[in-house]
């Protein structure tokens, strides 16, 4: 019953994306900081961010929301890729993770093989990598 209501309510609306999750994360961080420091301005800024995120999720203007998310991913993309690379390297200690210098595709090779020639699976670029 509630699920059907939510499905009907969200029909035709944009929904969540990376920027929405980022805004939600900023809200949580600012909320915790406002509790720790007692600065109400952080709470107000967090409220503005969460309202912006809700507006984006409930919006019916797909093109505008996609353009905003694409602009956000252009800015945050290198940080997101770096964070994912660090996370993979931490979870899989037997492999060395690196990116292709041409297309930035994430690649991996076994550790301890010395300097090797790597051929990127995406673009075919051949480069040397120390593992
Ligand atoms: Zn490549």
pLDDT at 124: 93
- Confidence at 85, pLDDT banded by 50, 70, 90: confident
Q: DSSP state, 103?
A: T
pLDDT at 109: 92
Instruction: Compute the distance from residue 95 Cα to the ligand 1 centre, in Å.
Output: 18
What is the reported pTM? 0.67
User: What distance in angstroms lies between residue 10's CA and the mean position of ligand 1's atoms?
Assistant: 39
| pLDDT (0 to 100) of residue 2 | 86
Q: What is the 3-class SS of 16-44, one letter each residue?
A: CCHHHHHHHHHHHHHHHHHHHHCCHHHHH
Residue 98 Cα, ligand 1 centroid: separation in angstroms? 11
Res 22: pLDDT: 92
Number of residues written out for the chain: 131
For 48-66, what is each residue's pLDDT tens digit?
A: 999 999 999 999 999 999 9
Joined tokens for residue 16: 């969540």
CA 111 to chain centre: 27
* Gap between the Cα atoms of 52 and 64, Å rounded: 13
């Amino acid at each position: 019953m509630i699920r059907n209501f939510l499905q009907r309510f969200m029909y035709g609306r944009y929904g969540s994306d990376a920027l929405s999750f980022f805004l939600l994360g900023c809200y949580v961080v600012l909320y915790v900081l406002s509790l720790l420091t007692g600065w109400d301005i952080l709470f107000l800024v967090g409220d503005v961010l969460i309202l912006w995120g809700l507006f984006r999720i409930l919006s019916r203007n797909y093109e505008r929301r996609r353009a905003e998310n694409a602009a956000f991913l252009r800015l945050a993309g290198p940080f997101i890729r770096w964070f994912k690379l660090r996370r993979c390297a931490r979870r899989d200690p037997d492999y060395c993770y690196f990116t292709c210098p041409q297309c930035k595709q994430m690649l991996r090779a076994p550790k301890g093989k010395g300097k090797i020639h790597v051929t990127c699976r995406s673009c075919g670029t051949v480069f040397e990598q120390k593992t």
